[in-house]
Chains A and B, each alone.
Chain A
């Protein structure tokens, strides 16, 4: 007998739980797919999924719902990553739904394509008949997500019914569904932002450069810093200014804010996050500010 203590660290326990979930999906679903935007959570999720099946290749592809309003660095990272890992990339384009009339572009200063992603996501899921869709959402992100199951049932309309959720016990997940229905799977449910960053640091996971401090022109709006990109319409009196910033989340360029920061390495970021007194969504997501239940409402519609 050895005298080891047989203790897992916090991150090791989280990783084991996530790997179990990913393998469970591969074993019990016909057509899973993993949502991959190039954001840090989906990068960690993809990294875990690849590890779960090593040395075999990933037994499913990845899906990017492309608003068309992306940061160039993120698209470059996305393409480089799927090529390096040899995984199949499917892109669902919001622009296609706008062109077909299935989605209507918002107008005005707060216009964003973020909400339109739901239409494109549901169309792509139906087209490819995906029955399990991995998302990188975490329960610590937002109060509606704190109520989310690991296996989250979606009806034929892709809708989430918070009152009708299946009880989830031990590590026994009920993924049963009928044709046309699907399950959203959240292997990172129990991770926090700090866990994600410590894992990125410990595992040496590459991220888009946006996540580390860099100089760029930004516009201050509603207490947030928005990147001055070709997708942003300046309002009267707004003047872009150079600042040293980084992004805590990466999404649609029109509604994802950045924070002033000099954190240039994973170690710096871990230290910065550990000391931060503000949540990542509070700091960087304009769309969450629309209403107190913004996320819940979007999730009910089929958002992830």
Chain B
């Protein structure tokens, strides 16, 4: 087949007044992607309106849109340059913005957000940047449009860029570019503008041509949702689209949720071409070594790298339905990969105001275009990954059983935490720490409430708890995270396990009881930091699950956010890194070697070496703190 770089899928955003249609029209026109008959039609329509050539009309589609000047729905446009093919999901900026933006962004590699240089950042710009971040769009381009109306001012451009960058630092945006354009005249759209010699970057089209999208797929975690079973004579094959990873003939695989293990005998491309290996998102057919009871809705993965499997799920949800609202107890049909099952809403944790990013935990429903965090219980278990890790295994839709409408899009954040025990005494005794040390509170000591409420403080705090084996890389991530948060203007402080053992915990050793006490103390300190409005970044091996759960429960009881991050680095990799020489020295009682480590059952995030360098990992963690309840620039 002809060799050409991968198609770039773009979702546009920004209100119509910001000149979005004109920009898309200009992009098509100046890149010579318009055809003479289309152009003739636009020229005619422009003349009918008494205008010169109105490029915005290139993207108007339906009768009602032209008649009423409104935009009804997402339109898909295609164009190509000698370097690359493009699909533009042109999402209208009008009334149904959230639903359309979410739809367009679900498959996008890049979000193109427009800002009017005169008006500067608006709620809309922030909302669209947030949605792009929520949907995991890897690249964001901000076009500061109508630069002609501000005299092509470099100062104005710098001001808007800085505003936006400050805002984006709070989001999960890894790649942000800002380009000054004047779409009406074509400045910096396809051709470099002579009016803005101070701008040293690429014009928009050239930037779009060179954005690197290959690494945006998850090629690490093998995920194969079985879509269809093909039978022909002796042949029995499992067809599907790889949702992640690279699969090879001879690979061991397990089927979830059953857990049956087998090996891949052969991989076939459509049409019966035998492949040695297949990668996401190829559509293939697998022959397995054993006849298993595997069918549509099951998922094949590698035995050592499994997704979560469960029926209780935490998710962000965007509500689409005009005629109904999401409420706790509501039942829907859930579609996830190739699985269809029933789901019930067991809790609405909060509703998010997409303009201010404020969370409203008192909300009782989600209505059209609203976003919230929910817990769901499904009839059949799902095999899934957090959406941040894999869009293919982390996204789902809800369908109304009566109307058959698609009423919501969801992004899984992780398994739902098990319900909290009524009292801490009810914590199951599975770890040695639960029996010791015995900490009693003197009845003479009472809690002295502060005169300052949490809402009155400058900022809101939280605890990020990084757990994992020695030398797994926790501290490197913690250092980067602290740096990133502080740079974004959010108070943060690093509580490193080794450092605390120099002072606060200098009296403790490494017996299970001492380790438990160590975790307890650090947990208490972190909780105080969080209460004071600081993000406590804790880097601690903390090997026992129950100890960490106790810290989590303490935070929850105090109404403070607690994020558990599992730095899941295999022990051989830790030993190879070994910056402190622990493994090399054969340190006795080393966790993971001759002392147990209990990985979290339901961490908020898992970081693996394949996730990239500490800076990249820190960005993943920061994304979990993406919606601070306050402290956003107005």
> In this assembly, does B397 line the interface, its C-beta being within 8 Å of a C-beta of chain A?
yes
Decide if A9 touches B3 in the complex (CB within 8 Å). Answer: yes
Decide if B228 touches A54 in the complex (CB within 8 Å). Answer: no
Which interface class (under 10, 10 to 19, 20 to 34, 35 or more) fits A?
A: 35 or more
Decide if B282 touches A10 in the complex (CB within 8 Å). Answer: no
List chain A residues, Cβ under 8 A from B285.
Answer: 54
> In this assembly, does B133 line the interface, its C-beta being within 8 Å of a C-beta of chain A?
no
List chain B residues, Cβ under 8 A from A2.
Answer: 277
> In this assembly, does B31 line the interface, its C-beta being within 8 Å of a C-beta of chain A?
no
Chain A proximity of B285: nearest CB distance (Å): 8
Decide if B335 touches A172 in the complex (CB within 8 Å). Answer: yes
Q: Mark A112-140, 1 if CB is under 8 A from B, else 0.
A: 00000000000000000000000000011
> In this assembly, does A51 line the interface, its C-beta being within 8 Å of a C-beta of chain B?
yes
Decide if B62 touches A147 in the complex (CB within 8 Å). Answer: yes
Chain A proximity of B398: nearest CB distance (Å): 10
Chain A residues 147 to 200 lying within 8 A of chain B, measured CB to CB, are: 147, 162-163, 165-172, 174, 176-178, 189-190, 192, 194, 198
Decide if A146 touches B282 in the complex (CB within 8 Å). Answer: no
Decide if A174 touches B38 in the complex (CB within 8 Å). Answer: no
A55 nearest CB neighbor, chain B only: B232
Chain B proximity of A126: nearest CB distance (Å): 19
Q: Complex Cα distance A283/B40, Å? A: 13
**Knowing A10-B4, A147-B74, A163-B73 touch, does A171 contact B404 (C-beta < 8 A)?**
no
List chain A residues, Cβ under 8 A from B35.
Answer: 276-279, 282
List chain A residues, Cβ under 8 A from B85.
Answer: 10
Chain A proximity of B57: nearest CB distance (Å): 10
Chain B binding surface, main DSSP class: mixed
Chain B proximity of A186: nearest CB distance (Å): 11
List chain A residues, Cβ under 8 A from B6.
Answer: 7-10, 13
**Knowing A16-B241, A190-B87 touch, does A170 contact B391 (C-beta < 8 A)?**
yes
> Which listed residue (B7, B63, B78) contacts A140, Cβ 8 A?
B78
List chain A residues, Cβ under 8 A from B272.
Answer: 51, 54-55
Decide if A20 touches B241 in the complex (CB within 8 Å). Answer: yes
Decide if A169 touches B2 in the complex (CB within 8 Å). Answer: no
Chain B proximity of A20: nearest CB distance (Å): 5
Interface size on B, residues (CB 8 A): 75
Decide if B283 touches A172 in the complex (CB within 8 Å). Answer: no
Stretch at the interface among B101-109, B345-353, B591-599: B101-109
List chain B residues, Cβ under 8 A from A163.
Answer: 64, 72-73
Q: Complex Cα distance A242/B37, Å? A: 26
> In this assembly, does A232 line the interface, its C-beta being within 8 Å of a C-beta of chain B?
no
A199 nearest CB neighbor, chain B only: B1
Chain B proximity of A24: nearest CB distance (Å): 7
> In this assembly, does B333 line the interface, its C-beta being within 8 Å of a C-beta of chain A?
yes
Chain B proximity of A37: nearest CB distance (Å): 23
Decide if A169 touches B397 in the complex (CB within 8 Å). Answer: yes
List chain B residues, Cβ under 8 A from A202.
Answer: 1-2
> In this assembly, does A46 line the interface, its C-beta being within 8 Å of a C-beta of chain B?
no
List chain A residues, Cβ under 8 A from B66.
Answer: 292
List chain A residues, Cβ under 8 A from B333.
Answer: 176
Chain A proximity of B239: nearest CB distance (Å): 5
> In this assembly, does B154 line the interface, its C-beta being within 8 Å of a C-beta of chain A?
no
> Which listed residue (B1, B107, B228) contacts A9, Cβ 8 A?
B1
Q: Complex Cα distance A54/B270, Å? A: 7
**Knowing A52-B270, A172-B335, A172-B396 touch, does A167 contact B102 (C-beta < 8 A)?**
yes
> In this assembly, does A143 line the interface, its C-beta being within 8 Å of a C-beta of chain B?
yes
Q: Complex Cα distance A16/B278, Å? A: 12
Q: Complex Cα distance A6/B333, Å? A: 35
Chain B proximity of A182: nearest CB distance (Å): 12
> In this assembly, does B61 line the interface, its C-beta being within 8 Å of a C-beta of chain A?
yes
**Knowing A169-B409, A277-B35, A282-B37 touch, does A23 contact B283 (C-beta < 8 A)?**
yes
Decide if B232 touches A170 in the complex (CB within 8 Å). Answer: no
Q: Mark B51-64, 1 if CB is under 8 A from A, else 0.
A: 00000000011111
Chain A proximity of B246: nearest CB distance (Å): 6
Q: Mark A48-62, 1 if CB is under 8 A from B, else 0.
A: 101111111100000
Chain A residues 267 to 304 lying within 8 A of chain B, measured CB to CB, are: 276-279, 282-283, 292-293, 296-297
Q: Complex Cα distance A249/B105, Å? A: 33
Decide if A174 touches B397 in the complex (CB within 8 Å). Answer: yes
Q: Mark B218-236, 1 if CB is under 8 A from A, else 0.
A: 0100000001101111010
Decide if A296 touches B1 in the complex (CB within 8 Å). Answer: no
List chain B residues, Cβ under 8 A from A48.
Answer: 270
> In this assembly, does A87 line the interface, its C-beta being within 8 Å of a C-beta of chain B?
no
> In this assembly, does B438 line the interface, its C-beta being within 8 Å of a C-beta of chain A?
no
Chain A proximity of B331: nearest CB distance (Å): 15
Q: Complex Cα distance A20/B107, Å? A: 15
List chain A residues, Cβ under 8 A from B217.
Answer: 6
Chain A proximity of B348: nearest CB distance (Å): 21
Decide if B320 touches A167 in the complex (CB within 8 Å). Answer: yes
**Knowing A55-B232, A174-B335 touch, does A192 contact B76 (C-beta < 8 A)?**
no
**Knowing A143-B60, A174-B335, A282-B38 touch, does A56 contact B230 (C-beta < 8 A)?**
yes
> In this assembly, does B306 line the interface, its C-beta being within 8 Å of a C-beta of chain A?
no
Q: Complex Cα distance A53/B284, Å? A: 10
> In this assembly, does A45 line the interface, its C-beta being within 8 Å of a C-beta of chain B?
no
List chain B residues, Cβ under 8 A from A12.
Answer: 1, 282
Chain A proximity of B97: nearest CB distance (Å): 13
> Which listed residue (A9, A27, A55, A177) contacts B235, Cβ 8 A?
A55
Chain B proximity of A77: nearest CB distance (Å): 21
> In this assembly, does B399 line the interface, its C-beta being within 8 Å of a C-beta of chain A?
yes
Decide if A23 touches B228 in the complex (CB within 8 Å). Answer: yes
List chain A residues, Cβ under 8 A from B36.
Answer: 277-278, 282
List chain B residues, Cβ under 8 A from A194.
Answer: 80
> In this assembly, does A100 line the interface, its C-beta being within 8 Å of a C-beta of chain B?
no
Decide if A171 touches B103 in the complex (CB within 8 Å). Answer: no
Q: Complex Cα distance A276/B239, Å? A: 38
Decide if A176 touches B106 in the complex (CB within 8 Å). Answer: no
> In this assembly, does B363 line the interface, its C-beta being within 8 Å of a C-beta of chain A?
no
A171 nearest CB neighbor, chain B only: B241
Q: Complex Cα distance A162/B64, Å? A: 10
Q: Complex Cα distance A12/B268, Å? A: 14
**Most-contacted residue by chain B among A146, A163, A296 (CB, 10 A):** A146
List chain A residues, Cβ under 8 A from B76.
Answer: 139, 146-147, 189-190
Chain A proximity of B111: nearest CB distance (Å): 15
Q: Complex Cα distance A147/B63, Å? A: 12
Chain B proximity of A172: nearest CB distance (Å): 5
B296 nearest CB neighbor, chain A only: A27
List chain A residues, Cβ under 8 A from B335.
Answer: 172, 174
**Knowing A20-B283, A279-B35, A283-B37 touch, does A162 contact B270 (C-beta < 8 A)?**
no
> In this assembly, does A74 line the interface, its C-beta being within 8 Å of a C-beta of chain B?
no
Chain B proximity of A25: nearest CB distance (Å): 10
**Most-contacted residue by chain A among B41, B102, B282 (CB, 10 A):** B282
Decide if A166 touches B405 in the complex (CB within 8 Å). Answer: yes
List chain B residues, Cβ under 8 A from A169.
Answer: 102-103, 106-107, 395, 397, 406, 409
Chain B proximity of A68: nearest CB distance (Å): 29
Q: Mark B1-44, 1 if CB is under 8 A from A, else 0.
A: 11111110000000000000000000000000001111001000
Q: Complex Cα distance A168/B103, Å? A: 6
> In this assembly, does A26 line the interface, its C-beta being within 8 Å of a C-beta of chain B?
yes
> In this assembly, does B214 line the interface, its C-beta being within 8 Å of a C-beta of chain A?
yes
B35 nearest CB neighbor, chain A only: A279
**Most-contacted residue by chain B among A5, A57, A143, A277 (CB, 10 A):** A143
Q: Complex Cα distance A76/B257, Å? A: 50
List chain A residues, Cβ under 8 A from B75.
Answer: 143, 146-147
Chain A proximity of B426: nearest CB distance (Å): 39
Going nearest first, the 8 A-B pairs with the smallest beta carbon separation are A282-B37, A56-B232, A51-B271, A51-B270, A169-B106, A176-B404, A293-B63, A19-B283
10 CB < 8 A contacts A-B: A7-B5, A50-B271, A163-B64, A166-B405, A171-B392, A190-B76, A198-B1, A198-B2, A282-B36, A297-B63
Supplied contacts A8-B6, A54-B271, 9 more A-B pairs, CB within 8 Å: A23-B228, A23-B240, A52-B239, A54-B268, A55-B272, A147-B74, A170-B391, A198-B1, A279-B38
